[in-house]
A and B are shown apart, each in its own frame.
Chain A
Amino acid sequence: MPKPVDVTTPSDREVTVTRVFDAPRQLIWDCHTKPELVQRWLLGPPGWSMPICKVDLRVGGRYRYVWKNDESGAQFGSYGEHQAIDAPSRLVTTEMMDGLDGGPLLDEPPLDPAQAARNVLTLAEAGGRTTLTINMTFPSKAIRDQALQSGMSDGMAMGYDRLETLMAGQGVG
């Protein structure tokens, strides 16, 4: 059984995700910052892939992720800037999402600090285990809720239904 993931909403504008891994934090750091590794796990439900993953790991450097539903062709993306890089323990980024409304995905989408979320990734290692915490602070409650619901968009929900069918079929959960 995979380890539990804890999701809390400490305030109206925040979401915090916590998870423990049986791995040193340097490896988990690499999996968050090296594009060829990010593309292998940060995918959401089955049926989605990440055809575009660019990471310029410098303060002020950008990252760009694009996800695609391999069946419907639907796409959406996320992008932002690295604000603080303290390898392998802390990474601060801004984040905006695009394409959720079916709109086009630009190569270099505009980054509006007033609309961007601020994500703080913390990796704490003890006894060979790493506790990962991501605290996301959104500019408003409406933007926070939209981000939470991005997991509920049609294409994603389809993936979940498939996951649920799969789990039901295997007698899990």
Chain B
Amino acid sequence: MSYEQQLDATFQALADPTRRAILARLATGEASVSELAEPFAMSQPAISKHLKVLERAGLIVRGRDAQRRPARIQAKPLQEANMWIERYRQLWEANYARLDGLLAELQAGQGNRGKD
């Protein structure tokens, strides 16, 4: 998968609230399908479907153990998606820091006019 396709798959996988909750659970440690199905009150096939999407997006890996096949979180794609948003956030942070300065200047100007 190209970098672009990887990011697309990551964002698509993260768009679903159940999958985000599964990732949050896996962030605390690996879990099998049955262990995941219980707290989410979902069937094992439904959980398996979500795990497949997460696996394709490279967000998790599944263990080799044929019985349990525990799911484990993979940090790298998440970090890349976050970095993308983080850069965008920094862009607005720089803009709004400048806007703070401009607003202070305008408010000071209004104050002066008020005293005149």
A residues near B (Cβ < 8 Å) are 2-7, 9, 11-12, 15, 17, 19, 21-23, 27-28, 30-31, 37, 40-46, 141, 145, 148-149, 151-152, 156-157, 160, 163
Contacts and interface: CB of A to CB of B under 8 A. Distances in A.
Interface string B85-116: 10111111111111111111011000000000
What is the predominant secondary structure among interface residues of chain A facing chain B? mixed
A151 B103 contact: no
B13 to A, nearest CB: 11
B94 A9 contact: no
B103 A28 contact: yes
A15 B87 CA distance: 14
A7 B85 contact: yes
Interface stretch (B4-12, B47-55, B67-75): B4-12
Given A2-B97, A19-B92, A41-B95, A148 B107 contact: no
Contact of A5 (B15, B93, B103): B93
Interface of B: 7-8, 11-12, 15, 84-85, 87-104, 106-107
A27 B107 contact: yes
B11 A45 contact: no
A45 B100 contact: no
A44 B11 contact: no
A152 B84 contact: yes
Contacts of B96: 2-3, 5, 19, 21, 41
A152 B87 contact: yes
A2 B8 CA distance: 32
6 contacts: A5-B93, A9-B85, A41-B102, A152-B84, A157-B87, A163-B90
B102 A12 contact: no
A5 B107 CA distance: 22
A43 B98 contact: yes
A84 B107 CA distance: 27
A28 B100 CA distance: 9
